[in-house]
Structure formats: structure tokens, C-alpha cells
Structure 1
Amino acid sequence: MIPDELWARIEPLLPVLPRRTDHPGRKRLDNRKVLSGILFVLYTGIAWEFLPQELGFGPRVTCRRRLRDWHQAGVWQKLHELLPAEPHATGKLDRSRAVIDRSHIRALKGGPKTGPSPVDRAKTGSKHHNIADGSGLGGHRWVIEQTVALLHWFRRLRIRWEIRDDIHGAFMTLAAAIICWRRLIH
């Protein structure tokens, strides 16, 4: 599920945890399998408790815990900064101009950083703030609308199911990094 080229960029960013010698317990599940489970949830929008064990992703708790831990370690933010640096160095990415906008999504379970929607009869929601490169400035709103559509291509981000803000933020940052990766390879 994870292309080798993308995994080669993610793997060095993941924290290395030494195996405990006093209480070794079970061997740690492979990071690539766990990340595949995280991406499965992000792409499909499936609830954590329905993550299929048959696909070999590992337990849902392990996937959610590693998503949280890697987000706290700054892995997704580093990846999101690393990927656009390459096209910027070659002149394919113009950072001198940017388009900024936000979109509003439903937050059915509430949680921190949610509030009443100004456009949806005050139902609980959450805002996604977006920045896109300035290749479409000058009345071309499609640039930011395309960015919002790319984020909402990940089904888990269409409706905010996470109560915990750190898990939602981890999904957002990971999705932005994947969008950058797709732009980089095309």
C-alpha cells in the first residue's frame, strides 16, 4: 500500500525505540504495516474498531497509538516540509505567492477546536485552513478549491470523527504530505 519511494522518505523520520531488556514482551509490529493501517483508515474513512485484522495492519490500538506518537515526534510535519523542498530547489514550486482559504466540515462527535458552523444552522463543525502555491493567483479560485477537494478525497477528512484534536491534526498533516508526494512524482 505504501510505495517504496515514499517509504524510503518516511522510514528515516520515524523514531527508533530500543527493545526493553527487562520486560521484552512481544516484538514490535513492523512500522510499514502499521502505517499501511493508518493510511487505510485515512483513505477509506473506516472507524478504527473496524480495521480489518485480515489485512495484517495490526491492532487498531497500535495503529492509533503510533499515529499519535509519530505526530507528537513531528514525523508528519518533517515529511510535509521535506517533500516540497525538492521541487522548490529545482524551481518547480513558487513560494513567493500563496493562496489561503478555509473550509468547514462537520464534527459529529465534537471535541476541542470545534464550534458552531456559520453556514450550517450552527451545527458543530471544524475548520480546515489551507495554503496552496500561488500558481493560480489573479482571480483563479480553482487553486484553493482544488486543494480542498484533494484533502476531502481522503474520506476520513470529509467529516471529523476524531474527538481528540491531536489525532485529527495528525491525519490532516499526513494527508497534506501525501498530496505533496503525489505532486512530486507527477
Structure 2
Amino acid sequence: MPTDLVPDDLWERVTPLLPPRPVRRRRHAGRLPVPDRVALAGIVYVLRKGVAWRDVPAQVVGCSGVTSWRRLRDWTEAGVWPRLHEALLAELRATDRLDMDDAAIDGSHIRALRGGAHVGPSPVDRGRPGSKHHVIVDRHGTPLAVSLTGGNRHDVTQLFPLLDAIPAIRGLRGRPRSRPRRLFADRGYDYDKYRRRLWKRGIKPLIARRGVAHGSGLGRTRWVVERTFAWLHQFKRLRIRYERRADLHQGLLELACVIICLRRLRRAPASGGPDIPGVGATAAAGRVS
């Protein structure tokens, strides 16, 4: 198993969250199960390379793609990825690498080749079947929550579901943090009733107005969400949706967010303003190591 697929810091954090295996009661009860770390390497390999599960090279990863798919199914159903994401967000906050005062939200279309739940005719792809990734990020582009919908769903339908999906992030003394103070969004979220609902939650809406010329200045802070989509779609399995099961594609999406958060933990603490890495750092942000 290549160590760059599952580095030690990722494995140390995911191990306590994995569900226990069934107890083997007989001495000779068939083949021993594949180690969890090897199966996770197969999942990360598919996420990074975008290959079909049946094409995972067992001689490189250490197990078949079918075995990795089964572990992805089991761990997704057990809720491993959201809990791991929440734990990493708490670590980021504890080390001053998370800035939730400002948040940005947006959606991005992808093709869906095999159908399934959360698939619809994409208005930006000639009505072909597609899905949408929705993400809300902090001031530095760290993904706070992600969701998957059909390609024909409006971005604004995920505004409050994403806000509600932000976990109660610990890491510092006092109350856990679960909402931003200001929310940046593009014209797709320009509805006064949603502005009023944001104000009621104590969130200041900074949303571009439809029919107004560009130059509001909101893009100086909102661009980080576009960069986060670039990070996510560097994982080739997320560029096109192949999984018929929406929960498994959501699981891969959450695992990609985990890897992005882990990369931020390896970097120096942020010091005010949006995180603006160089070209090389931006390109590397979507990789595991």
C-alpha cells in the first residue's frame, strides 16, 4: 500500500471512528479481512484517480476495488466522514486556522452518467442528467459543509440546509461555533425573504443584486468558494458523478473535504485576510500529500 494514499496523520484521526468488525468466532472462518487502512487506500485511490472500482490495481493498493467499495458503503452508512470532518474543523479552530466570521456559499454543476437519486436535467449542459455540489466555506476557503442535489435544483434551495449542516465546532473555550457572522453569495441567492431570514439568525447577508453592474467588491471575499470547488474537482472522481447511490457520492465529497482540512492543518496558521497561496500551493491543495 503506498503510504501517500493514507498518510499517518489521516489514519490516526480516522481509526477511532471506524465501526468495529464482527467478531470471528471460529478459528478457521475463511480468509482474513483486508485491513481497514488498505481498504481506505483503495477509496482514496479511486477518489484521486477517478478510475472505476473494478479497475483498482490490487498489486498497487493491496486490495480489490470491490472490497474498497464495500468499506466505503459501510463507513458512509456509519457516518464516519461527517464526524471526521467535524473533528478536523475543531482542530483548525483550536490552532487559529479557521475564520468563521466570514463565510461564502455557492453551487457547481457536474455530469451524472449513471442516474440515481439527486439527478436532474442540467440547465447549463443542454438538459443532460447532472447533479450539483453545494458548499459553504470560511474566509480561507475551508469547507464547512457540503451537499448534493439534482442538477435542476436552484442554488438558493441549499442556503439554509447548508447553514444547518455546519456542525457545532469546538476547539476553543466557550460555546461551540456553528454559524458565521457574515455570508457572501452571488446573484443566485438574491431574494429579500432569504435576506430577512438570515438577519433573524444573526447573520449579515452580503449578496450581490441582480440587475446591478459588477463592481460591488464582494468578489474580493467570495472568490474563495470558487477556489474550493477547484480543490474539490481536482479529485477526479468528483468531476463526473459515476455512483448511482447519492450517499456514496456524498461520502466521497465529504472525504475530499476531510483531506482539504487536513492539508490546512499541515500549513502555518493563517494571519488575517483570505488565505492566498501561490500557484503551486493552490494546485497541491487537492492532493492527499
Q: TM-score range by the shorter chain?
A: over 0.9
1:46 aligned to 2:51? yes
How large is the Cα RMSD of the aligned pairs?
A: 1.6
Letter of the 1:180 counterpart: C
Name the amino acid aligned to 1:139: G
Identity of aligned residues (%): 53
Give the drift of 1:96: 2.7
Matches within 5 A, 1:35-74: 35-74=40-79
Distance in 1 (CA, whole Å) between partners of 2:223 and 2:134 is 16
Show CA shifts across 1:117-149 (max 9, x none).
Answer: 111111110000011103486322320110100
For 2:36 and 2:16, the matched residues in 1 are separated by: 11
Q: TM-score if structure 2 supplies the norm length?
A: 0.61
Alignment of structure 1 residues 75-154 onto 2, 5 Å? 75-135=80-140, 138-140=218-220, 141-154=222-235
Rg larger in structure: 2
Q: CA deviation at 1:61?
A: 1.7
5+ residue gaps, structure 1: none
* Aligned 8 A contact 2:97 2:264 in 1: no
Q: Are the aligned partners of 1:88 and 1:95 in contact in 2 as well (CA < 8 Å)?
A: no
Q: CA deviation at 1:62?
A: 1.2
Pick the structure with more helix per residue.
1
Whether the 8 Å contact between 2:104 and 2:139 is mirrored in structure 1 is yes
Q: Distance in 1 between matches of 2:63 and 2:258?
A: 23
> Which amino acid in the other structure matches residue 8 of structure 1?
E
| Preserved contact between residue 43 and residue 156 of structure 1 (Cα < 8 Å) | yes
d(CA) in 2 for partners of 1:87, 1:176: 13
Q: 1:167 — aligned with what?
A: 248
- Identify which range, 40-49 or 89-98, moves more after superposition: 89-98
Post-superposition, which runs of at least 4 consecutive aligned residues in structure 1 deviate over 4 A? none
Q: 1:21 to 1:105 in 2, by over 3 A?
A: same
| Aligned counterpart, 2:159 | none
**Contact 2:41–2:61 under 8 Å retained in 1:** no
- Of the structure 1 ranges 15-24 and 80-89, higher mean CA displacement relative to structure 2 is found in 15-24
